Amino acid sequence: MQLLCISLTILAALALGSGYAATLPTSAPSVFSSDPNPNTNSNPVEDAVAPPSATLSSGSNEVTPCSLSSSDLNECIRGLIQSFAPKLKNQGVPEFNMDSIDPYFYKRGIFRYTNDGIQGGLLIKNMEIYGISQLQVNSVAANFTDDGFIIKLGIELPQLKAGGHFKADVKFGGLRLVPKGPFNITIDNIKATILTDGHIEQLPSGQKRLSLHRLNANVNIGDAKVVANGIFSDRSLNAMILNLVNENLPEITRVGIPATREQWAPILIAHINEFFAKVPIEKFLVQ
């Protein structure tokens, strides 16, 4: 049982995606509960709306910006995200300083875990993630003020694949394991409700950029498969543990993602803010 708990911890961290340790900014507005979909009976993941209106000119990347005062703001933002997502594969959109996000290369990160008698760290390096550009946005609920914004998204991804190398150092009671090796993850039918807030920053150059403060997510997945060599030197035991993890990975993800938000949210926010650092938001959002 101890070996099983340790292995589940290692593979859960792999499934969630790992990164360097960070802390949430204390100055950001406190708008997040454990449920990122408060005070509503609707499910933006399931309640898909009509197809997005055309926000890009045919055959070009010319943008029709969204007006923050428009009654159609939510649908316009949804249309922009949906229109640009497929273009961010391989080359990205250089004219708007948008780098490629598919595949997404993650060089190195550390996931630390301490709970229920288990302590340890997980290093992930040279990880490539495929499938982000297949993003489907089902709903957007946005609220912009002079001080910032709050946005809730209902999204789906048909499949994500990731592969790289890991090394772990896990202690459970008096037992210590230091597994390492390559890994591959395939996750199908991802559905998520995402809540984030932030502000639009005015730069000295006159350009504006998007800056996120916080992020929370409820995630459900369909089928998932993890392949990892090196958890145990015994191949039969390694295969048995992987089978147990794969059978329970949807539940591990459902419970583990909210429980580890303080670990992964700052990492994801940092990557999103880095992506938007050079993107001229004034081309997409106008008063």
Report, as an integer, the average pLDDT of 227-240.
Answer: 79
pLDDT in tens, 26-68: 333 333 443 334 334 444 333 333 333 334 444 456 788 999 9
For residue 22, what pLDDT is reported?
31
How many other CB atoms are found less than 10 A from the CB of residue 225?
Answer: 14
Higher pLDDT, 25 or 195: 195
pLDDT at 61: 65
Q: What is the mean pLDDT of residues 91-104?
A: 90
Q: Using DSSP, state whether 255 is helix, strand or coil.
A: helix
CA–CA gap between residue 169 and residue 85 (Å, rounded):
37
Contact of 149 with 162, CB cutoff 8 Å? no
Q: What pTM does this model have?
A: 0.71
| Between residues 187 and 48, the one the model is more confident about | 187
Categorize the per-residue pLDDT at 110 as very low, low, confident or very high, splitting at 50, 70 and 90.
confident
Instruction: For residue range 204-229, list pLDDT tens digits in order.
Output: 888 889 999 999 888 888 888 888 87
Mind listing the domains of the chain with CATH numbers? 2-286 (3.15.10.30)
pLDDT classification of 172: cutoffs 50, 70, 90: confident
Confidence bin at 135 (pLDDT 50/70/90) = very high
190-195 average pLDDT score = 92
Asked if residue 80 lies in contact with residue 63, where contact means CB atoms within 8 angstroms, the answer is yes
Q: Counting beta carbons within 10 angstroms of the beta carbon of residue 31, is it exposed (0 to 12), middle (13 to 18) or buried (19 or more)?
A: middle
The answer, yes or no, to whether residue 280 has pLDDT greater than 80, is yes
Looking at the DSSP bridge assignments, the partners of residue 160 are 187
Q: Residue 253 — very low, low, confident or very high, per pLDDT cuts 50/70/90?
A: confident
Share of the chain above pLDDT 70, in %: 78
Among left, alpha and beta (phi > 0; psi -120 to 50; other), residue 214 is: beta
pLDDT at 149 over 90: yes
d(CA 149, CA 200): 8
How does 132-151 read in b/e, with b if 16+ C-beta sit within 10 Å?
Answer: bbbbbbbbbbbebeeebbbb
**Predicted local confidence at residue 223, as pLDDT:** 84
Predicted local confidence at residue 12, as pLDDT: 38
Residue 239: partners with Cβ closer than 8 Å, 6 or more residues away: none
